[in-house]
Amino acid sequence: DGGITQSPKYLFRKEGQNVTLSCEQNLNHDAMYWYRQDPGQGLRLIYYSQIVNDFQKGDIAEGYSVSREKKESFPLTVTSAQKNPTAFYLCASSPGVAGVPSYNEQFFGPGTRLTVL
Amino acid sequence: AQTVTQSQPEMSVQEAETVTLSCTYDTSESDYYLFWYKQPPSRQMILVIRQEAYKQQNATENRFSVNFQKAAKSFSLKISDSQLGDAAMYFCAYRSAQGNQGGKLIFGQGTELSVKP
């Protein structure tokens, strides 16, 4: 089945640790996104990538890093510089190609719940 | 910068009745897309309906329809014949049509909808 997978489902981090959240898609989508969800605040954009080997900061990029070495993968690293990382993290992808009927639609993965111990 | 506002943190509806969720947005752009996403307790984001700003006709998807008022920058979601499975968090989202915006979504804070049997 085509879709987006995120792993792990639950992740625990100790103070001072870096952790990496995985996001993989087999939809052949060009664009990929990372969002953070906190209670009462909706989703906020962390980073996004429109093509391989290129990515841009979103609204809350501080304390996070990403890479886009392959079209299907867009891992997010939560560094120790992120002071309040406890949240639900959602990865999404989009065709990114005008003319495709769903090109302006984003498809979401199931999410990763990160908790700081 | 664009903003999206959902002024109803919680809404409740009786099963089989109709409910309307409100969304307003602020933008200086003339071409954009608007979306309603549903997030059930599983936390999987599901696209409910989308509207292209250049289209005057309101979008409909089965029991879901929107009232798009471009001049008023309003985008409400109407759910008819509400079902227990409609209970979820609903997010309104904005996407610029400008290519340099990367296709990112800007979300409102969400409205928690409960359905009473």
Taking the C-alpha atoms of residue A80 and residue A26, their distance in angstroms, rounded to an integer, is 30
pLDDT number for residue A72: 97
Q: Specify the pLDDT at position B66.
A: 98
Place A103 in a pLDDT band, splitting at 50, 70 and 90: low
Would you state the pLDDT for residue B92? 97
Q: Work out the angle at residue A87's Cα, subtended by the Cα atoms of residues B24 and B1, and round it to the nearest 5 degrees.
A: 35
- How far is CA A106 from each of CA A3, A16, A115, B37, B48, rounded to the nearest angstrom? 12, 33, 26, 10, 12
**CA separation for the pair B49, B92 (Å, rounded):** 10
Residues B51-89 pLDDT 10s = 999 988 999 999 999 999 999 999 999 999 999 999 999
Name the token pair of A101.
């009927």
Instruction: Judge whether residue B109 has pLDDT over 90.
Output: yes
Question: How do residues B6-42 score in pLDDT, each as one tens digit?
Answer: 999 999 999 999 999 999 999 999 989 999 999 999 9
- Chain A residues in contact with B108 by the CB 8 A cut-off are 42
- Classified as helix, coil or strand, B42 is coil
Q: Which of A28-42, A52-66, A71-85, B90-104 has the lowest mean pLDDT?
A: B90-104
pLDDT at position B110 over 90: yes
The confidence band for A16, taking pLDDT boundaries of 50, 70 and 90, is confident
What is the average pLDDT value for chain A, to the nearest integer? 90
Cβ B104–A45 below 8 Å, yes or no? yes
Determine, for residues A90 and B45 on separate chains, whether the beta-carbon distance falls below 8 Å. yes
A102 has a pLDDT exceeding 70: no
pLDDT at residue A100, as a whole number: 53
pLDDT tens across A27-57, in order? 999 899 999 999 877 899 999 998 899 999 9
Q: Among residues A38, A28, A41, which one has the least CA distance to residue A88?
A: A38
Taking each continuous run of H as one helix and of E as one strand, the counts in chain A are 0, 11
Encoded tokens for B25:
């947005």
- Taking an 8 Å cut-off on Cβ atoms, the answer to whether A108 and B9 are in contact is no
Question: How far is it, in rounded angstroms, from Cα A58 to Cα A71?
Answer: 19
Distance CA B29, CA A55 (A): 24
pLDDT at residue A95, as a whole number:
84
Q: Tokens 């879901």 — which residue? A: B64
- Residue A35 with chain B: CB contacts under 8 Å: 105, 107
- Give A42→chain B minimum CA distance, Å: 4
Chain B contacts to A (CB-CB under 8 A): 4, 6, 9, 33, 35, 42-47, 50, 91, 95, 97, 102-110
Cα B97 to Cα A11, A31, A104, A105, B31, distances in angstroms:
35, 15, 8, 12, 6
Please name the residue of chain B whose CA is at the shortest distance from the CA of residue A58.
B104
Partners of B45 on chain A (C-beta within 8 Å) are: 90, 92, 108
With an 8 Å Cβ cutoff, is A55 touching chain B? Answer: no
Which residues sit opposite A71 in a β-bridge? none
Q: A9 pLDDT exceeds 80? A: yes
Query: Which of B102, B94, B96 is closest to A55 using CA atoms?
Result: B102
Helix (H, G, I), strand (E, B) or coil at A94: strand
Q: What is the spatial distance between Cα A9 and Cα A32, in angstroms, rounded to a whole number?
A: 19
Q: What is residue B115's predicted lDDT score, i.e. its pLDDT? A: 98
